[in-house]
Amino acid sequence: MAELSDDQLVRGLVAGQSEAMAELYDRYGDSAYALALRITGDGARAEDVVQEAFVKIWRQAARFDPQRGSLRAWVMAVVRNQALDVFRGRAGRERREVDLDQIGPDARVCDPWPHVSASLLRSRVRTALCSLPSEQRQVVELSYFSGLTCREIGNVLGLPLGTVKSRLRLGMEKLHAYFAGQELDLDD
């Protein structure tokens, strides 16, 4: 079977073709597992995350929008979101399982500022990324959010290595300029 293009693959997924899902998994399963493992820190949970993410992709294939990025970037975003949901859920369950007798009167008061600060920073980064031309944004996202090397990005997008490096450099320069003069507290 000849390798399908991303468009053909998505059409196959939307049509419910199991061969398209098998090819999607063959193409991106290893990267998806590596990303899930990096987020969850647990092999079994990472496997569950990948399975759930691919089920979600199967069900929501019609939602893929090639104007917003590549198929690989979309798959990795679904995996990332699923992994973060599992990670946050686990942390929440572990917090709820603390015996109340173990909490003394000097228990630390919950400080919401780190969460608010992180949320504001995420929002600013999202806005900055959206200000980039789509070609540069796509390369930056694949590099930083999917962890791909420039050579891997070139293979995924079918671009020469020099073009990938140029787009990444230009995108990072524009992001730097966007944040120049803004105070960023990345410690919390």
On the question of pLDDT at 163 being above 90, the answer is yes
Percent of the chain, pLDDT > 70?
Answer: 82
On the question of pLDDT at 162 being above 90, the answer is yes
Mean pLDDT confidence for 93-102? 50
Q: Which CATH architecture has domain 6-109?
A: Orthogonal Bundle (1.10)
Mean pLDDT confidence for 41-49? 87
* pLDDT for the residue 138: 92
* pLDDT for the residue 101: 55
Delimit the domains of the chain by residue range: 6-109, 118-180
* pLDDT for the residue 85: 84
Q: pTM above the 0.75 mark? A: no
* pLDDT for the residue 91: 47
Identify the residue with better confidence: 100 or 142: 142
Tens digits of residue pLDDT in 104-128: 555 555 667 777 777 787 888 888 8
What are the residues whose beta carbons fall under 8 Å from the beta carbon of 68, sequence distance 6 or more? 74
Q: How many CB atoms lie within 10 A of CB 22?
A: 13
Asked if residue 179 lies in contact with residue 125, where contact means CB atoms within 8 angstroms, the answer is: no
Residue keyed to tokens 């992709």 = 57
* pLDDT for the residue 177: 87
Spatial distance between the Cα atoms of 129 and 124, rounded to a whole number of angstroms: 9
Spatial distance between the Cα atoms of 23 and 10, rounded to a whole number of angstroms: 11
Q: What six digits make up the tokens of 138?
A: 């796509």
- Which CATH code is given to the segment(s) 118-180? 1.10.10.10
* pLDDT for the residue 51: 92
